[in-house]
Amino acid sequence: MNTRSLKFRLIVWYAGLLLGLFALLGLSTYLALRSSLVSSLKDSQLRRARQVAQLLREEIQRHTENSVGEEIQARYAPDVNDRFVRVTTPDGALLYLSAPPKSQSFDPASLPPPRWPADTESGREASLLGGRKMILTAHALEMPGGKRYLVETGAPMDEVQADLHHWLVFLFVMLPVVAVIALGGGLVLIKRALAPVDRIASSAERISSHSLSQRLPVPQTGDELERLSVALNHMIERLDAAFQHSRRFMADASHEMRTPLTVIQGELENVVQQSSLEPEWRDRLGSVLEEVDRLANIVEGLFAISRLDSGEAAAEWVKFDLAQLATATADQMGLLAEDKKIQVTCTAATGVWVQGDRARMKQVIVNLLDNAIKYTPAGGAVGLSVLAQNSKAVLEVADTGVGIPAELLPKLFERFFRVDPARSREQGGAGLGLSIVKSICTAHHGRVEANSTPGQGSRFRVELPLANGATNHYQRPEDHEHGKSEPS
């Protein structure tokens, strides 16, 4: 899962929030339980201290201080019950100290010295060996004659600490369980909450400049997602209108310019052919005629692209053998290759049937071969191959030309883009050939891509869907070579 995605961050926040709340609740419960258990133990020890103080008062009034210890031992037996009792006077004299308990859980003699309370009663915690603790409570007794006594009682906190330990174990055991439940529940909830976003994104991925009539799904949730979908659909409507306007303008402009350019070209050709024309003017008019011819080619290219963008190419679709078309086109391009002493090789498997506009697909092959021959130095080689592969018709044109820098490959199929503008202009290129190739492939539900290594050559690959019901069995390829010549 992408750690930077909104889904991942929401799940982490959701799980973290639940874990934090669980930990906070567990800690609060732990503190409340500890306070309750300690308070209960302290209250019980304070009651015992009051009882011992009452016994002390009665014994002193009836007898003497010497009989207090025996009476406390006989009535409460603190060493047997694992309890602590101590009676002292303000001058520090020890009137009674309970014996060590039979469990040997603590040593009464090692406990902290007496601490008189600021009021009548007090309670505190004392540390024992091994990290154990003990509750000590104190009750101050004042006799009628003004003599004072301090009665202290205590009990180990073993049971309290055991209960708290069990609670901590429960928390640590339940924490991973809560984490799994939080992550699983968060994944389900957030996946359902973001499902409309996924559908909107998937629909948006399928919308291109050729399918602006499609719209995004609008979830009827009444929330921000619905508003966003409606706003995006309105934006797509405006884009569609702008694209339609741009296509109409390009189609109308290129159509209207064809006739004047044809007239200008014809008139210039007539003037150039006049024998009375001076050589200087003949050269100048020849240059103008070349530019007019180049402009006419640009207009024809724009007109072709506008027809492809409007979907007119689909009106002339037929089923044809792409391998046969490639072989025939390679034969026709052979003369152009011979002029540059370039070897053109065609390897085509028979029976590669596709559905489409035969003339447009021939234009694709012509443009790719023309580019390959144009940018391959004399003595180089150009290869054309056609085969059926994975339910696709694959056409490849490879050359040993100058190659294309890697950073320019993404822009290669843009309109009017030229790798070397100066060289392209010298060779008559306007930067529309590959753009037309891409438009034709897109109109035929196919794709075109390019790979190149500077100084070693380029390879263009066209993939088209095979015609339905066509039998595209790979048979023995037919090789054709054109433009072979010995170096002079």
Higher pLDDT, 19 or 298: 19
Q: How confident is the model at residue 476 (pLDDT cuts 50, 70, 90)?
A: very low
Q: How confident is the model at residue 461 (pLDDT cuts 50, 70, 90)?
A: very high
pLDDT value, residue 250: 66
Q: How confident is the model at residue 474 (pLDDT cuts 50, 70, 90)?
A: very low
Average pLDDT, the chain: 83
Query: So where are the chain's domains?
Result: 6-164, 224-309, 316-482
Backbone dihedral region for residue 189 (phi beyond 0: left; psi -120 to 50: alpha; all else: beta): alpha
Task: State both tokens at 449.
Answer: 């891509």
Reply yes or no on whether the pLDDT at 429 is more than 70.
no
| Lowest-confidence region among 95-109, 255-269, 423-437 | 423-437
- Compute the average pLDDT of residues 365-370: 91
- Does domain 224-309 correspond to CATH entry 3.50.50.60? no
Topology given in CATH for the domain delimited by 6-164: Beta-Lactamase (3.30.450)
pLDDT value, residue 46: 93
Reply yes or no on whether the pLDDT at 59 is more than 80.
yes
Higher pLDDT, 45 or 423: 45
CATH class for domain 316-482? alpha beta
Q: How confident is the model at residue 192 (pLDDT cuts 50, 70, 90)?
A: confident
pLDDT digits (tens, 9 = 90+) for 88-146: 999 888 889 999 998 888 889 889 999 999 889 999 999 888 888 999 999 999 888 78
Q: How confident is the model at residue 428 (pLDDT cuts 50, 70, 90)?
A: low
Does the predicted model carry a pTM greater than 0.85?
Answer: no
| Lowest-confidence region among 57-71, 393-407, 432-446 | 57-71
Reply yes or no on whether the pLDDT at 394 is more than 70.
yes
Reply yes or no on whether the pLDDT at 397 is more than 90.
yes
pLDDT value, residue 113: 92
Q: How confident is the model at residue 483 (pLDDT cuts 50, 70, 90)?
A: very low
Reply yes or no on whether the pLDDT at 70 is more than 80.
yes
pLDDT digits (tens, 9 = 90+) for 164-185: 999 999 988 988 888 888 888 8
Antiparallel, parallel or unpaired: β 447-453 and 133-142? unpaired
- Compute the average pLDDT of residues 251-271: 76
pLDDT digits (tens, 9 = 90+) for 275-290: 777 888 878 888 888 7
pLDDT value, residue 311: 60
pLDDT value, residue 488: 28
The pLDDT > 70 percentage for the chain reads 88
Q: How confident is the model at residue 322 (pLDDT cuts 50, 70, 90)?
A: very high
